[in-house]
Amino acid sequence: MQYENSYPVKGGDFKEAGKVAVLVKMALKKMGVAPEILRRAAIAAYESEVNIISYARMGTIRLQVRDDHIRIDVEDEGPGIEDIELAMRPGYSTATELIRELGFGAGMGLVNIKSCSDEFEITSEVNQGTKLRILFRIPETG
Amino acid sequence: MTLFDVMDILDAKLLVGRKLLNTKVDTAFSADLLSDVLAYARPGSVLLTGLTNPQVVRTASVLDIAAIVIVRGKIPPAETLRLAEELEIPIMATHYILFESSGRLYRHGIVGCIQKVGADEIVAL
Ligand SMILES: Nc1ncnc2c1ncn2[C@@H]1O[C@H](COP(=O)(O)OP(=O)(O)O)[C@@H](O)[C@H]1O
Ligand SMILES: [Mg+2]
C-alpha cells in the first residue's frame, strides 16, 4: 500500500474548514484502511486544518500511507507558537470570536490530535510557522 | 430504534436523507462545540447540535455519525444541506431545545455514546 497526497490550506478561509479532513477520510477509505484508524487520522487532519485556517497565513497537510502506518505532516507559514507547552494545555486558546462561531476554539485541538495519534511531534518557530508530525500505526492483519 | 423513531420522538422535520431513515441508532452525543464532538462522539451515534454550518456535516462525515439533529428550530443554510446530500448524512430539524431533545431520546432508550470524560481530561483552568 502506497499513497501520497498534499492538500493546501489557506489561512482565514473559514468556510472551507473541514474540506481537507473529508478528503483525507475518503482517500483512506478508498485505500481500505480500517475505519477506527482512518477516523482517528481524519479527526487529527480536521483539527490541524482548523488551526492553519485559524492562526496561520497558509499551510499544507501532507498525507502518506504505507502498509504499516499513516503519516500526516502539517506545515504552516504563520506566527508560530511561542510556548508549546501552554498551547498543548487543554482549554488554552487564543481563538477569536469567528473561530468560536464555527464551533472551534475551545483549546482542545492539539490535545485531541495528540490523543488520536500513536506518535505526535510539534515544533514551531516564532514568526515562521508550525510543524506537526502525526503518525498512526496500522497493525498487521491475518 | 431507527432514525424514523428519532424523527417521531422529536417531532422533527427531515431535511436530508430519506433513504437512510431505517438506520438503527442507540447512542447520541449533544454539543455545540465541534472540537468536543471530534474528541468524544462515536461512530453510529446521533449528533444533536445547535450549529448549522457545513462544518457540522464535515464533522459528522469524518466521525461516521448516523444523523444530525439540529435543535432550537434552526434551519441550516442551503450549502449545509447540499453538503449533507453529497456526503449522505441525514439531517433533521426539531423545535425542541438541546436539553429537551436529549432527554426525550434518553427516555426512549438512547444513551450517551460515552458517559463521562476521564478525570485527567477535565479542563482545569
Ligand atoms: N498552527 C498554529 N499557529 C499558531 N498558533 C497556533 C497554531 N495551532 C495552535 N496554535 C495556538 O495554540 C492554541 C491551542 O490550539 P488548539 O489546541 O488547537 O486549540 P484552539 O485552536 O481551540 O485554541 C491556539 O489557541 C493558538 O494560540
Ligand atoms: Mg485548534
Residues of chain B with pLDDT under 70: 119-125
Test site for ligand 1: of A81, A85, A131, most ligand atoms within 8 A of the Cβ: A81
Integer distance in angstroms from the first to the last C-alpha of chain B? 39
Give the residue numbers spanning the domain of B90.
3-121
pLDDT at A141: 77
Q: Cell numbers at residue A105, please?
A: 476554539
Identify each DSSP E strand in chain B by its residue range: 13-16, 27-30, 46-49, 67-70, 91-93, 111-112
Number of domains in chain B: 1
Residue B62: CB partners within 8 Å, gap ≥ 6?
Answer: A18, A21, A22, A25, A39, A42, A43, A46, B38
pLDDT at B53: 98
Residues in B 32-71 with any Cβ partner in A closer than 8 A: 32-39, 43, 51, 53-56, 58-59, 61-64
Residues of B in contact with A44 (CB under 8 A): none
pLDDT at B123: 55
Integer distance in angstroms from the first to the last C-alpha of chain A? 16
Q: Which domains does chain A have, with CATH numbers?
A: 3-137 (3.30.565.10)
pLDDT at A140: 87
Query: Ligand 1 centroid vs A102 CA: distance in angstroms?
Result: 15
User: Which of B34, B51, B83 should we substitute to test contact with A (largest number of A Cβ atoms within 10 Å)?
Assistant: B34
State the nearest Cα–Cα gap between B54 and chain A, in angstroms: 8
Q: Which CATH number belongs to the domain containing residue B79 in this structure? A: 3.40.1390.20
**For the CA of A56, the nearest atom of ligand 1:** 3
pLDDT at B120: 59
Interface predicted TM-score (ipTM) of this complex, two decimals: 0.96
pLDDT at B82: 98
Return phi, psi of residue B54, to 5°. -60, -25
pTM of the predicted structure, to 2 decimals: 0.96
- Report how far residue B70's alpha carbon sits from residue B48's, in angstroms, rounded to the nearest whole number: 6
pLDDT at B91: 98
pLDDT at B118: 82
Contact assignment for A46 to B32 by CB distance below 8 Å: no
pLDDT at B119: 65
State the nearest Cα–Cα gap between A106 and chain B, in angstroms: 7
- For residues A6 and A60, is the Cβ–Cβ distance under 8 A? yes
- Report how far residue A59's alpha carbon sits from residue A8's, in angstroms, rounded to the nearest whole number: 6
Q: Is A124 in the pocket of ligand 1 (CB under 6 A)?
A: no
Query: Ligand 1 centroid vs A3 CA: distance in angstroms?
Result: 29
- Report how far residue B23's alpha carbon sits from residue B115's, in angstroms, rounded to the nearest whole number: 23
CA of residue A96 relative to chain centroid, distance:
19
Share of residues in chain A with pLDDT > 90 (%): 97
**Residue closest by Cα to atom 27 of ligand 1:** A94
Q: Name the residue type at position A57.
A: R
- Report how far residue B84's alpha carbon sits from residue B68's, in angstroms, rounded to the nearest whole number: 9
pLDDT at B122: 53
- Which among B39, B61, B124 has the least Cβ separation from residue A108? B39
Return phi, psi of residue B30, to 5°. -120, 130
Q: Is A99 on the interface with B (CB under 8 A)?
A: no
Q: What is the mean pLDDT of each run of 10 residues along chain A (142 residues)?
A: 95 97 98 97 98 98 97 98 97 96 96 97 98 96 66
- Report how far residue A40's alpha carbon sits from residue A50's, in angstroms, rounded to the nearest whole number: 16
Q: Is B117 on the interface with A (CB under 8 A)?
A: no
